[in-house]
Amino acid sequence: MTRSRPELERALAEDPFDLATRKEYARALEDDGQAAAALRQWELVCRQQPDSAAGFLGAMRCHRALGALERAEACLREAEAKQDFSPEIRPARPAPALQVLTGGGDVRPAAVVPLRPAAVRFDDVIGHAALKKTLEVRIIAPFVRPGLFARFGKRAGGGVLLYGPPGCGKTMIARAIASECRASFIAVGISEILDMWLGRSERNLAAAFDRAREQRPAVLFFDELDALAFSRSKAHTDHTRTLVNEFLNQLDGVAHDNQGVLVLGATNMPWDVDPAMKRPGRFDRQVFVPPPDDDARAEMFRVKLADAPTGPIDVLRVARATPHCSGADVDGVIEAAKERVLTEILAGGPERPIAESDLLAAAKEVQPSTLEWLRTARNLVKYAGDGSYRDVEDYLKSARLL
Amino acid sequence: MSELHGLQHQIGRLLEVRRPHDARALVGEALALDPADPDTLCLAGRVELAQQQRAEAERRAHEALARAPGHDGARSLLFDILLADKRHAEAEAVVLERLRDDPADPVALTDYARLLLHVFQLDKARALVAEALRCAPDDAAAQVLDAVLHVIQGDDRAAADRLARLVAADPEAAHVAWTAMLVLSERGHPRQALEIGRQLLRTSPDNPRLVDAVIELRLASHWSMLPLWPILRGGWVASAVLWAVAVFGLILLRPFVHEVVLLVLALLYLALLLYSYVGPPLLRRWLRWRGF
Ligand SMILES: Nc1ncnc2c1ncn2[C@@H]1O[C@H](COP(=O)(O)OP(=O)(O)OP(=O)(O)O)[C@@H](O)[C@H]1O
Ligand SMILES: [Mg+2]
């Protein structure tokens, strides 16, 4: 039984993770000669089923139809590396003379974010054990298995706002969520949205949402959300207000269907984000990303020093010497230690590995970049009576900063 | 709109959403297009000011003024820098020059009033604000300053009227909330003022002045401050009156009551006095440390 394209589209809108339907849809598009659209679908299949050859073969056919022969080659090589690839389905390479005929035309290649080979996984995010568990249950699972959650009367949807001090892994976690969701990842920052031409910022924002809806299942990630949705009560110009209004419009999805699109945001300054953005159905789940604890920092030192020449190092001791440091600060300590060793070697010293003393000395010079943020957050918890920062309060208590 | 205008617009926006660092990169681009454009130079100065580089900001303002004498944005920038630096005489010279060019400029009038408030020339400040409001009755900055001056001069009713009009115009704006906090606390409603102060702090937790204000309001509305209510409310005048009443009261009562009663009254009075000295600072420290 073959389904018509509108039927397939409806089925996919209901369950974006139904791979069989998506493949059928991609083939239907191919049969209709819509190679670019089919390519987009095959690329999604690749992302959702990265260890199968089918998606890559489909993508290869489309690339070839579009005349992008090098990309077609690359897809074929990917497909050949998969377990389920069988040599019989290896397609014949087209004769060079035909390239001119099949290629060309003004069909543009699909604007899909390419799958990065080194996508960040949840396992790469060190520490944050409880946080990862929460995200898994409350965000990733409902997104990947909407049917299951619907049966229990829970609806996926609504956005998630990650907030916390700088350098503690908000951006990293957002990337990891996307790859765990096996969805396209569309990341937008200030420079992609804020535009110098009047009215273009709103259009850029709408375009980002449109792209995410087109590529669903997709994770749409707004970095530095406070700059894109700056509190209207604090703004002095109308530009900022119009942009926030457009943002609310897109999130509410009155004119659009945001099913299958997970909206993520990250910010260092949640208090600058317009309060309307945090209402139900929008960024209604706010997740605090705290600085790493001693054990997490120790693990960071261990992992990040793994490919550098090191002597015996007690990572826990180094971690204890860097209280309140963020993940980015840890990177800084390691870089400074490497620099010390290299300076010594270049000054004529013997070639030696990084020692614990180098790290401890470097740690003394690094100022934790989280302290200023934590002090500001303390004002919120102590004097403003803001109940929405319970997690921050718990963290401050545990770190003896309250 | 030209590319330069576009860049300037973008820089203004980045400054508004508190991204001076990103704005700085664009300033470089705009200056590359036209190194002598006074508007760009002003924005460059604003970026420096936002990053607390006042000397550099001042240099930019002078640069802009050298290219375009009398440039409004540049003079306004220069004024803000000088006021932040507490160089009041120089700031006055700048604002006077603006008023010479246009005696009815509400922004300049309000700026001048702001300066006079800083040096406690309240009557002149009042007159200037009144003039600014005559030229531009809806100017928000002038209205806020008007309310503040009424509060300082003890005319709570007028301040409350002004506040009501501000709230009606833009109830959500932060400057309105600031004014409301001030007026309410001055009219003897520390509890309501505290509520507004805490709401404000939720949106600006990085403002140390706001933190101090909220702590003061919590102090004023604390139950243990109830016995000190007249002193807190009336300031040193109330203290003096209380002194006089107590001393003369005790002298006048002497022929009529028992000595022990007199002693108890005197001791009670001394205890209140001691408490008024020791109580508030202790409670202030406690509140700051414990939170509320
Ligand atoms: N939990 C972590 N595990 C491993 N590396 C981390 C972790 N947290 C931070 N890092 C390191 O710190 C760097 C900065 O992290 P990231 O950009 O995710 O922080 P952020 O919270 O988004 O900061 P900002 O607020 O400045 O954007 C990362 O590139 C990574 O190297
Ligand atoms: Mg980030």
User: Bigger pLDDT: A20 or B81?
Assistant: B81
**pLDDT for the residue A156:** 58
Look up the pTM and report it.
0.78
Nearest CA of chain B to the CA of A87: how many Å?
A: 53
- Average the pLDDT over B20-47 and give the result: 94
* B28 Cα to the center of ligand 2, angstroms: 24
To the question of domain A294-365 being in CATH 1.10.3720.10, the answer is no
**pLDDT for the residue B238:** 79
- Tens of pLDDT along A235-256? 888 888 999 999 999 998 777 7
**pLDDT for the residue B148:** 86
**Could you count the other beta carbons within 10 Å of the beta carbon of residue A84?**
11
CB contact under 8 A, A377 and B1: no
Nearest CA of chain A to the CA of B270: how many Å?
A: 33
User: Bigger pLDDT: A80 or A108?
Assistant: A80
Element (H, E) at A218: strand A218-222
**pLDDT for the residue A96:** 38
**Could you count the other beta carbons within 10 Å of the beta carbon of residue B188?**
14
Phi/psi at B24 (nearest 5 deg)?
-60, -40
Interface of B with A (CB under 8 A): 1, 3, 6-7, 9-10, 12-14, 16-19, 22, 172-174, 198, 201-206, 211, 214-215, 218, 290-292
| A226 touching B (Cβ < 8 Å) | yes
Q: Give residue A179's pLDDT band: very low, low, confident or very high (50, 70, 90).
A: confident
In sign, the C-alpha dihedral spanning A299, A303, A305, A309 is positive
Q: Please, which residues have CB within 8 angstroms of residue B250's CB and are 6 or more apart in sequence?
A: B262, B265, B266, B269
* A325 Cα to the center of ligand 1, angstroms: 11
List, in sequence order, every residue forming a beta bridge with A184; answer none if it has no partner. A218
Estimate to the nearest angstrom the gap between the alpha carbon of A58 and the chain centroid.
26
B102-221 homologous superfamily: Tetratricopeptide repeat domain (1.25.40.10)
Region(s) of chain A under CATH 1.10.8.60: 294-365
Ligand number nearest to the C-alpha of A302:
1
Q: Give residue A385's pLDDT band: very low, low, confident or very high (50, 70, 90).
A: confident
Cα–Cα distance measured from residue A15 to residue A22, given in angstroms and rounded to the nearest whole number = 10
Q: Give residue A155's pLDDT band: very low, low, confident or very high (50, 70, 90).
A: low
* Pair A232, A191: CB distance under 8 Å: no
Nearest CA of chain B to the CA of A151: how many Å?
A: 39
Which residue's alpha carbon is nearest to atom 17 within ligand 1?
A171
Facing A239 at nearest CB: one of B13, B18, B198: B13
CB contact under 8 A, B202 and A196: no
User: Bigger pLDDT: B175 or A226?
Assistant: A226
- Average the pLDDT over B103-120 and give the result: 92
Residue owning tokens 């001069």:
B153
**pLDDT for the residue A157:** 62
- Average the pLDDT over B270-281 and give the result: 86
Mean of the per-residue pLDDT values of chain A: 85
Sequence spans of domains, chain B: 102-221, 227-292
Q: Please, which residues have CB within 8 angstroms of residue A355's CB and are 6 or more apart in sequence?
A: A310, A311, A313, A341
Q: Give residue B223's pLDDT band: very low, low, confident or very high (50, 70, 90).
A: confident
* B20 Cα to the center of ligand 2, angstroms: 17
User: Bigger pLDDT: A96 or B124?
Assistant: B124
pLDDT at B234 over 80: no
Cα–Cα distance measured from residue A145 to residue A361, given in angstroms and rounded to the nearest whole number = 49
Q: How many CA atoms lie within 13 A of B29 on its CB side?
A: 15
Q: Which CATH architecture has domain A122-288?
A: 3-Layer(aba) Sandwich (3.40)
Q: Give residue B265's pLDDT band: very low, low, confident or very high (50, 70, 90).
A: confident
* A221 Cα to the center of ligand 2, angstroms: 11
> ipTM score of the complex?
0.83
Query: With contacts defined as CB-CB under 8 Å, which chain B residues touch A380?
Result: 201-202, 205
Facing B18 at nearest CB: one of A237, A272, A380: A272
Query: With contacts defined as CB-CB under 8 Å, which chain B residues touch A389?
Result: none
**pLDDT for the residue A1:** 60
**E-assigned strands of A97-217?**
160-163, 184-188
pLDDT at A103 over 90: no
pLDDT at B239 over 90: no
Q: Give residue A267's pLDDT band: very low, low, confident or very high (50, 70, 90).
A: very high
Cα–Cα distance measured from residue A214 to residue A208, given in angstroms and rounded to the nearest whole number = 10
pLDDT at A93 over 70: no
Alpha helices in A189-233, H assignment, sequence order: 190-193, 200-214, 225-228
- Tens of pLDDT along A347-379? 988 889 999 999 999 999 999 999 999 999 999
- Average the pLDDT over B253-274 and give the result: 85
Q: Is A300 in the pocket of ligand 1 (CB under 6 A)?
A: yes
pLDDT at A117 over 70: no
Facing A384 at nearest CB: one of B17, B19, B202: B202
List, in sequence order, every residue forming a beta bridge with A218; answer none if it has no partner. A184, A261
pLDDT at A105 over 70: no
Alpha helices in A269-326, H assignment, sequence order: 294-304, 315-320
Facing A240 at nearest CB: one of B1, B17, B204: B17
Residue owning tokens 């990053």:
B51
**pLDDT for the residue B112:** 95
Region(s) of chain A under CATH 3.40.50.300: 122-288
**pLDDT for the residue B50:** 95
Cα–Cα distance measured from residue A214 to residue A163, given in angstroms and rounded to the nearest whole number = 28
Region(s) of chain A under CATH 1.25.40.10: 5-89
User: Bigger pLDDT: A115 or A275?
Assistant: A275
Q: Give residue A81's pLDDT band: very low, low, confident or very high (50, 70, 90).
A: confident
Mean of the per-residue pLDDT values of chain B: 89
pLDDT at B42 over 90: yes
pLDDT at A97 over 50: no
Question: What percentage of chain B has pLDDT greater than the value 90?
Answer: 54
Q: Is A112 in the pocket of ligand 1 (CB under 6 A)?
A: no
Cβ-based contacts under 8 A for chains A and B: 87
Instruction: Find, among B66, B1, B74, B83, the residue nearest to B44 by Cα.
Output: B74
pLDDT at A107 over 90: no
CB contact under 8 A, A234 and B203: yes
**pLDDT for the residue A243:** 93
**pLDDT for the residue A118:** 54
pLDDT at A382 over 50: yes
- Tens of pLDDT along B153-170? 888 788 888 888 888 887
**pLDDT for the residue A197:** 84
* Pair B64, B74: CB distance under 8 Å: yes
To the question of domain A5-89 being in CATH 3.40.1030.10, the answer is no
